[in-house]
Chains A and B, each alone.
Chain A
Amino acid sequence: MSPTSSTSDRMTVQEQVVSVMEEMQILGTLDKLIAASEHICIATPLGTGDFLADLQQAFRLNGIETCIKNALVLSRRRKNIKEEQEQLNYMRKAQTHFERRVSKALLNLQTDLKLSLVRQRSSSEAQELSSKWDELSTYDQDVGSIRNLYSSQDLYEAVVALRDPDYSINRLEEKWSAVKIPLNVPTFEDLQEFFSDVCTSVDPFLGLGSALVLQGNSNVTLLNHRITLGTKVVAENDILLSEEFVKGGCPSHLRGRLWKQVLLSHVGDKEKTYFQAKKQAVIQTEYLTDKIIMKDIQLTASRDEHYFVYEDLIYQVSLCFSRDPYVYLQLCSKFGSRAQTATRFTPLDVSSNGSKTGTVKADGDAPGGQTITTSAFPPSSCIPFYGWAMYVAPLCYVHEEAEDIYYTLRAMYIKYWSRLHRLSSHRQGIVSLAILFERLLQQQEPELWIHCLNNNIEPLRIAMPWMVQAFSGFLIPEQLLFLWDLILGFDSLLLLPLLAASVFSLRRENLHRILSHDSAETILSDLSTIQVVPLLQMALTQHTG
């Protein structure tokens, strides 16, 4: 049970024990573990052999060792997370400005339509909503005149408008890329190294084709092999093992359990109660953002031929998500508490429209069991934009129950998706991803890049929605989930610009023939035939220049 990495040498065993216990406290598993350990200690017979070895064996067999191992891994990761205060002034200003624009749009919407930001639902309304909870797609919310607050195009404009006052850009550079700030992004060689497993892993990736037969054993298809292996991995419940397995692509019906292990989004009774509380919050109070969320779902997920069957689930999950202050707290600790749109809405703003509520308070449970009161609008602090529902939709193929979808969404959003619509200098923020996309395309397809420049085609404008939505709504569900497997397994969003650039590479011949941006958009509008894993392999094994 002793750790092997060198960083642990700096910590004594005592310190590690303390950090493991702290981590378990955070995860909420400490009590259960202690109880289980006591039980095993009592149950393990005093044989003639080494009691300690017997005990260790018993711990291993009962999964206690794995629990502790997981906690150690997580505590180490937690210690390595630095708070990401934005260091670059101009970036911070740009993000603040963007947030302000969004808030202003929201307030404009409110005054234009004469709706309140927050209001208590009348008991009849609450009754109606409650009875229609399972078919919210038919609940008439009169969202016809609601406008979406912003879309990935607005993000594109914002990214392209960024300027570093300390960096003077010459005329040639001005024309060369859409994004004109000098952020440090990984090179192609860095990517090749980081994602080398995609090309050289021992087992072929599932995304290559589930009917492939294994070398040396032609009776077993790749899918069956992955299923056998995956079932064992699920049983182990070891985070590192699960992450490694997920990289290679999950068999569809194991994906739910594997993602839960990797994202730590297990759903127990406490989680179910919490979700019910959010549901009640939705039923009792109406936020203006509810209407925006519903409008977005109507325009995106409900129209999508792959996801429309799940629209009712998507409504439930999205609305409850917007009431969850846990999201707000996590985002605050991640991005630094100053930079949150939510705090812009002081209690004064919210009540100034004459609604019944005074201050907006939302209660949330931090996982340690403390109750926290926050002021955020909406409570999750996530203002929906056009396409937000697409973060939720694909999860309906992964889980069946609303609670499972909810917690997976929450974990993924906090960990990954929140970076995709936030201006920051973080290596995996949308700005860096945009720069990386352009650099990759410039490096791998210089002729295509010149062709685009000469014909006023803007590749980033086309690729931006793909990256902001993590390709949801563009790839078919099976391929999209393979992509998200890779994102989870490698814990990196850098795959998004890589995939985007490789799509352009794939269609380079057709792109060379067209002469306008609109035609380029048409050529690249249908990604339903894209196979993610082969394309990424091709992209990573290309030679530069």
Chain B
Amino acid sequence: MSRITYFTDMEKSVVTANFVKRGWTSATSDEDWNFYWANTQTCRSLFSAESSYRLGDYQLINHFPNHYELTRKDLMVKNIKRYKREQDKERETRERSQFNLEFVPVTFVLPADYNLFAEEYRRCPTCTWIMKPCGRSQGSGIFLVTKLSRIKKWSNEGNSASTYGRHAVQASSVGSGNPQQPAPPRESYVISKYIESPLLIGGKKFDLRLYVLVTSFRPIRAYLFRRGFCRFCSAKYDRSTHQMDNMLVHLTNVAIQKQGDDYNPHHGGKWSVEDLLFYVASHRGSDAAELLWQEICWVIGHSLKAVAPMMLSDPHCFECYGYDIIIDANLKPWLIEVNASPSLSTTTNTDHFLKLSLIDAILNVVLPPDGVPNAKWNKRPSADALRGWIVLIDEEAKVGSAYARQNKGSKAKSSRSDIGRSK
């Protein structure tokens, strides 16, 4: 292989810098690429039935064709509910696990599950719910709901996304759209029970952003990047009704927080997971911190197991997901959503360095030892290549095998001190 070429759909310095570092060159328009850092739409169309493009042995792409089973809010919930039902049936035969599979807040798809939602709503009329469009990102179109009448109002307004969102309505693009349709299809939303008592630090709400690399779904090979971060709201958390519409209090997305007056560009509201666990260890004990980290690993692991049967595990594909997790006041982690294209823009120096290292670490894992993209490689990275990652799930590694022993150092149940050591 003389030259390794790459292709990207968007200009992201943290990505191209890593390619250039490895001596790769940008693919010209008339040559095939070896490594494609694509956005989700192009990847989907590449793999769609209409496309005649067949990926070669020496081509890798950074998305799975049907990643939306995990990353679309409604499909994720559906898959996890199904997984939970299956697991509950197997309770007797299942290996001992103390972990409660309720790690996603109660969620319904609207308008389809409206009646089920209304029933649940009446059981707890004082609860708050959060409405999120299924296919959007960056906090766009999200609002809080306390009264059933608000939903009725939303559904009567038809395609009401434009009233609340900052961006124009994006027609959901799963599958091909029929160009003859007179109006864009109605955007579906999910409504989830709002976590009203999140863990507050400094009086502010935050969520966790963790990066999870999956190189295959059958068998599952998933790795957790040791360096995640917390995204803090810049405004103090306030549950009162007059703050219900203030997204600076409730939504942690950087895109939203950046617009607040109190946004501080020096740290960007980002706090390392290391500091968070140190905080928990200092104020609640190291056992609590250890348990929290383990539960977070379990949440991610179970979510992947839930969607694995549905995923097309194409050997040309790998994917790095951005997991959003909220911790409640009882130190229970809740899975909020999974992003197929976690943001690679950087806000601070630390952020820049983190994302640069992330892409580098991804490449170390998805590329075989000779550094040439190869879909036929057995996808067993060496322990050295896995530096910076924690092995979440490796279904192939049988206990006692040489491969399992090799990776013992980076097993999922690592303590906080391990995270600190590998800087």
Q: Chain A residues in contact with chain B, CB under 8 A? A: 134-135, 137-138, 209-211, 223, 227, 251-253, 255-256, 302-306, 308-313, 397-398, 400, 476-478, 528-529
How far is B202's CA from A528's CA once the two chains are assembled, in angstroms? 23
How far is B269's CA from A137's CA once the two chains are assembled, in angstroms? 14
Closest residue on chain A to residue B420 by CB atoms: A478
Could you tell me if B278 and A312 are in contact, using CB atoms closer than 8 angstroms?
Answer: no
A-B CB contact pairs (8 Å), 21 listed: A209-B417, A210-B417, A211-B417, A253-B282, A255-B282, A302-B266, A305-B270, A305-B272, A305-B348, A305-B350, A306-B272, A308-B266, A308-B267, A309-B232, A312-B203, A397-B279, A398-B282, A476-B274, A476-B420, A477-B275, A478-B420
Q: Which chain B residues in 181-232 approach chain A with CB under 8 Å?
A: 201-204, 232
> Given the complex, which residues of B lie within 8 Å of A476, measured CB to CB?
274, 420
Partner of B286, one of A223, A256, A308, A312: A223
Interface of chain B, main secondary structure: mixed
> Given the complex, which residues of A lie within 8 Å of B281, measured CB to CB?
252-253
Could you tell me if B282 and A313 are in contact, using CB atoms closer than 8 angstroms?
Answer: no
Could you tell me if B264 and A313 are in contact, using CB atoms closer than 8 angstroms?
Answer: no
Is B418 part of the contact surface with A, judged by Cβ < 8 Å?
Answer: yes
> Given the complex, which residues of A lie within 8 Å of B350, measured CB to CB?
305
Closest residue on chain A to residue B278 by CB atoms: A478
How many Å from the CB of A297 to the closest CB on chain B?
12
Could you tell me if B282 and A306 are in contact, using CB atoms closer than 8 angstroms?
Answer: no
How many Å from the CB of B419 to the closest CB on chain A?
11
> Given the complex, which residues of A lie within 8 Å of B96, measured CB to CB?
none
Q: Which chain B residues in 274-301 approach chain A with CB under 8 Å?
A: 274-275, 278-279, 281-286
* Interface size, chain B (Cβ < 8 Å): 31
Closest residue on chain B to residue A308 by CB atoms: B267
> Given the complex, which residues of A lie within 8 Å of B418, measured CB to CB?
211
Interface of chain A, main secondary structure: helix
> Given the complex, which residues of A lie within 8 Å of B267, measured CB to CB?
303-305, 308
Extra 19 A-B pairs, beta carbons < 8 Å, given A308-B271, A528-B423: A134-B203, A137-B262, A138-B262, A210-B286, A210-B415, A253-B282, A253-B284, A255-B282, A303-B267, A305-B272, A306-B272, A306-B275, A308-B264, A309-B201, A310-B202, A312-B202, A397-B282, A477-B278, A478-B420
Tally A-B pairs: CB < 8 A: 74
How many Å from the CB of A405 to the closest CB on chain B?
12
Is B236 part of the contact surface with A, judged by Cβ < 8 Å?
Answer: yes
Closest residue on chain B to residue A210 by CB atoms: B417
Could you tell me if A253 and B283 are in contact, using CB atoms closer than 8 angstroms?
Answer: yes
> Given the complex, which residues of B lie within 8 Å of A478, measured CB to CB?
278, 420
Partner of B283, one of A211, A223, A227, A400: A400
Partner of A252, one of B201, B202, B278: B278
How far is B283's CA from A255's CA once the two chains are assembled, in angstroms? 10
Closest residue on chain A to residue B285 by CB atoms: A253
How far is B285's CA from A137's CA once the two chains are assembled, in angstroms? 29
How far is B414's CA from A209's CA once the two chains are assembled, in angstroms? 13
> Given the complex, which residues of A lie within 8 Å of B415, measured CB to CB?
210-211, 223
How many Å from the CB of B219 to the closest CB on chain A?
29
Could you tell me if B204 and A309 are in contact, using CB atoms closer than 8 angstroms?
Answer: yes
How far is B417's CA from A252's CA once the two chains are assembled, in angstroms? 12
How far is B281's CA from A227's CA once the two chains are assembled, in angstroms? 12
Could you tell me if A252 and B282 are in contact, using CB atoms closer than 8 angstroms?
Answer: yes
Q: Which chain B residues in 390-423 approach chain A with CB under 8 Å?
A: 415, 417-418, 420-421, 423
Partner of B264, one of A252, A256, A302, A528: A302
**Which of A303, A311, A398 is most buried by chain B, counting CB atoms within 10 A of its CB?**
A303
> Given the complex, which residues of B lie within 8 Å of A305, measured CB to CB?
266-267, 270-272, 348, 350
Closest residue on chain B to residue A311 by CB atoms: B202
How many Å from the CB of A8 to the closest CB on chain B?
39
How far is B417's CA from A335's CA once the two chains are assembled, in angstroms? 42
